[in-house]
Amino acid sequence: MEKKITVLSGDGIGPEIVREAIKVLDKIAHKYNHTFKYTYVDIGGCSIDKFGVPITDEGMEKCKGADSVLLGAVGGPKWDSCPPSIRPEKALLAVRKELGLFANLRPTKLFLQLADSSPLKQSVVGNGIDLMIVRELTGGIYFGERKTEEKNGEMYSYDVMSYYEHEIERIGRVAFDCAMKRNKKLASVDKANVLDTSRLWRKTMHRLSEEYPQVEYSDILVDNTAMQLIKNPAQFDVIVTENMFGDILSDEASMLTGSIGMMPSASLSSTTLGMYEPIHGSAPDIAGMNIANPIGTVLSAAMMLRYSFDMAKEADDIENAVNSVLNQNYRTSDIMQEGCRKLSCSEMGDMIAANI
């Protein structure tokens, strides 16, 4: 099978971690007689330096023409002074919008080998952590009207959060379908005691829940969700929520596992086209040092195989290889434990590939 992958390595540690994911993908291609054709496109700060924009029109077309997109990370202090309209992060919003990537899937799974790295007590994580946050990605306050102006003698700003019913319904269906494939339990997060958008969200989700009687459905306020993720994360299977709430809660959940470097994500459209990336940033302070953890990017590549290419066995191979490497007591510096052997970024990629 042949698949076209547009690679957006980006800034900071992006090129290093993406290189290791491609190393693993190439091993999969060799084992299963697939062909992965890579097209590299500049995005973020490196694109600003070369072209004056965070992604070019030509680069965007190459994303649209791919079967899937693999992303490293963008941004860094070097570009903090850029005008808001061309900041590196603008490219991510543009790609999500242009490719129709409305659903963000962020799994949070605690590998048992790393239980001691979790900031939570062992009595809390002992029941295991294995949840999926489904975040709406192209609506809400990040895409609403915004303005800063002088008003009544002082500066005044506003950002508008808005949702159409159909936007809520389509992310809701993704979440219910995801719950059906897991443990048939779904928690919908909102702020319905305050926000009109949340009241529409809750009404729409209740209507959808009638179509999925097998799923145990519940509503939970966003502030309570933040507390419950710390108190008892094992109670959650699938969580669905709007854009800003999902942005915050998924980062909180990722740290329950001990390292943000372990966490992958998938951004999906209504077709099989998706964008896959680790949830961490560009980490410019360690860029070029070959010490970054590539596992989140490698697991993102596994999600690409599973969700965009329908290659479940190949995805299982990658996930099992990561688990095997951890069982063999190999670690990168961010997850290093006593009695383990520390690997560089490239060595970790080599080791995962060798275990496929």
Q: Is 130 a catalytic residue?
A: no
At 185, which amino acid appears? Answer: K
Give me the catalytic one of 223, 285, 310, 316.
223
Q: Is 142 a catalytic residue?
A: yes
Give me the catalytic one of 247, 276, 330, 334.
247
Give me the catalytic one of 26, 130, 251, 350.
251
Q: Is 251 a catalytic residue?
A: yes
Give me the catalytic one of 23, 185, 191, 342.
191
Q: Is 307 a catalytic residue?
A: no
Q: Is 159 a catalytic residue?
A: no
Task: Report the catalytic residues.
Answer: 142, 191, 223, 247, 251
